[in-house]
Every structure is written in C-alpha cells, then in structure tokens.
C-alpha cells in the first residue's frame, strides 16, 4: 500500500481483556513508532523499532504493554488486562531512516475500554 | 530531556487572513529537526513543514512558512491566505539529529486547535 495501514480502526473492549493492534508500515521503511494520543492531548511516545536493533521501549507506561515487529515489517502492539485509562487513539508511524526522513502516520486505532 | 511547548490551545482565523501558531522548545543539542504536523478529524497526522536546525533560512511550503529563531528556541508556523481546509489540530515536534538522542522519535507539543471562519 501507499501509506501506513492500521487495524482495526476502532476497538471496543471490556476492562480486563487483552487487545492487539496492528500496524503495517510503508514498504522499505526501517523505523517504526507507536504513539498514544489521549483525548485533547498531544502524542505520547510508546516504543520505537529501528531495523534489527533492540527496540526502544522507554515510553511503555506499564508491563501490560508490549510490542513486536516481525520480519522488520508488520508490528503488533499488545495491551494485556486493559484498563479504562488505556482508552485512547494509538497511532503508528514509519520512516525511511532514524533521523532525517519524516514520519508517515497511519489513521490510528481508537481503543475504548468499557 | 527535550520538551516542546505550544502555548495556544486554540486559535481562530478568518478565511483568507493570516495566522501564526507559536511553538517553543528546550534542548541542549546543537543539531536537530523541527516539524509541524496537521491532524484533521480523520486522525491522520500530515506533515506540513520541516526545518533543519543547521539551516538559517526559514522553510516555506506554499502558504505555510516558519519563523525559526534558534537562539530563542522558537519555531512558529505562519499560515497565509487561510482556507477552510486548514482547520485542524496543529502539532509542533522535535527530533534529535544524533543517533541515540531520543532514539529518533518525535517529541510533540500538546497541539493548537485552529478554527477557520468563513
């Protein structure tokens, strides 16, 4: 595809359930990022993958959050035992390299925990 | 750690007029990149304009231009001839130019909601 693709577009889940959010970056992009955007807030960095290097997990808010990137392409963000405060839009972005190339964002997944 | 501050939560402009959105940042690094992103209701973040810190010349993209003041750590966005389609959230963002500096991720301000009146 031409852009970053995220699925699902919207997800409603019950408190305590696990959810998986998917990101399909632009082909050939080595860097992939996950951000969280709470209502009316800016973007909060979660995790960053660059090529085959160990991911930067410094932004993950708790051990209930994890992410993986298989084969240097598709990434999955997993939230275990969801809480109401996890409700937000989760945005994925990719870039051709780690510094100069701009980030290209997907349309995000809106997660609602009831 | 780097921080980005947008002091205007909301702004309003009349169609065809000019508006300036403010952004300041704090860093001890000498080389970095600055960005303005637009986020319409569709949620997708769209790159508006980019500035390399080592360049003194202000970046310009059609109706969008920046006023980059490195010493003051200021990076404002000017939108000329505002159009209804410019209505959106605008985010200022910082990215280190050094590998290992914030690991290449963007550090965002909290955004400015721009309304355009017909």
pLDDT tier at B100 (50, 70, 90 boundaries)? low
First to last CA, chain B: 41
B16 Cβ contact list (under 8 Å, min separation 6):
B81, B82
Taking the Cβ of residue A48 and every Cβ of chain B, the question of whether any pair is shorter than 8 Å is answered with: yes
Evaluate if residue B69 carries a pLDDT over 90: yes
pLDDT at residue number A99: 62
Residues of chain A positioned with their CB less than 8 A from the CB of B44: 105-108
| Mean predicted confidence (pLDDT) in B65-69 | 96
Taking the Cβ of residue B33 and every Cβ of chain A, the question of whether any pair is shorter than 8 Å is answered with: yes
Q: What is the dihedral of CA A21, A25, A30, A34, to 10 degrees?
A: -40
Both tokens of A78, joined, read 């997993």
Residue A40 CB burial class (10 angstroms; 0-12, 13-18, ≥19): exposed
Domains located in chain A, CATH noted: 24-98 (2.60.40.10)
For testing contact with chain A, the best of B102, B105, B107 (most A CBs within 10 A): B105
Q: Domain range spanning residue B107? A: 3-117
Taking the Cβ of residue A50 and every Cβ of chain B, the question of whether any pair is shorter than 8 Å is answered with: yes
Cis peptide before A8 (omega within 30 of 0): yes
pLDDT-wise least confident of A50-54, A98-102, B33-37, B57-61:
A98-102
| DSSP symbol at A103 | P
pLDDT at residue number A96: 87
Q: Per the structure, how many domains does chain B have?
A: 1
Instruction: Identify the CATH number of the domain in which residue B102 sits.
Output: 2.60.40.10
Residue with tokens 């979660």: A46
pLDDT tier at B106 (50, 70, 90 boundaries)? confident
Q: What is the pLDDT of residues B12-23, one digit of tens each?
A: 999 999 999 999
Separation between Cα atoms, residue B4 and residue B93, nearest integer Å: 7
| Mean predicted confidence (pLDDT) in B24-39 | 93
Evaluate if residue B65 carries a pLDDT over 60: yes
- Describe the strand order of the beta sheet including A65-69 as a list of residue ranges: A5-7, A19-24, A75-79, A65-69
Q: How does pLDDT run along chain A (114 residues), one tens digit per residue? A: 579 999 999 999 999 999 999 999 999 898 899 999 998 778 899 999 988 888 889 899 999 999 999 887 999 999 999 999 999 999 999 988 766 678 899 999 999 999
Residue B63 CB burial class (10 angstroms; 0-12, 13-18, ≥19): middle
Evaluate if residue B86 carries a pLDDT over 70: yes
Residue with tokens 């409700």: A87
**Least CB-CB distance to B105: which of A45, A102, A106?**
A45
**Pairing state between β A65-69 and B46-52:** unpaired
Residue with tokens 């000017």: B78
Evaluate whether B116 touches B15 at the Cβ level (below 8 Å): yes
pLDDT at residue number A5: 96
Separation between Cα atoms, residue B58 and residue A30, nearest integer Å: 29
Both tokens of A107, joined, read 């349309």
Q: How many CB atoms lie within 10 A of CB A62?
A: 11
Separation between Cα atoms, residue B19 and residue B100, nearest integer Å: 36
């Amino acid at each position: 595809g031409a852009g970053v693709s995220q699925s699902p577009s919207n997800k409603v889940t019950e408190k305590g359930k696990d959810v998986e959010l998917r990101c399909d970056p632009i082909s050939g992009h080595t860097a992939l990022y996950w951000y969280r955007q709470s209502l009316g807030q800016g973007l909060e960095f979660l995790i960053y993958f660059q090529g085959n290097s160990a991911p930067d997990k410094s932004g993950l808010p708790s051990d209930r959050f994890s992410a993986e990137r298989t084969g240097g392409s598709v990434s999955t963000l997993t939230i275990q035992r969801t809480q109401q405060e996890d409700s937000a839009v989760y945005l994925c972005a990719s870039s051709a390299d780690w510094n100069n190339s701009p980030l290209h964002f997907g349309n995000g997944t809106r997660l609602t925990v009831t | 750690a780097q921080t980005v501050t947008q002091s205007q939560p909301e702004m309003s402009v009349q169609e065809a007029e000019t508006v300036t959105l403010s952004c300041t940042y704090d860093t001890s690094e000498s080389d970095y990149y600055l960005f303005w992103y637009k986020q319409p209701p569709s949620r997708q973040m769209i790159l508006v304009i980019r500035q390399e810190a080592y360049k003194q010349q202000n970046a310009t993209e059609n109706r969008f231009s920046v006023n980059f003041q490195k010493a003051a750590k200021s990076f404002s966005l000017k939108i000329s001839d505002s159009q209804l389609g410019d209505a959106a959230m605008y985010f200022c963002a910082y990215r280190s130019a050094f590998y290992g500096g914030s690991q290449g991720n963007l550090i965002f301000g909290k955004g400015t909601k721009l309304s355009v009146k017909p």
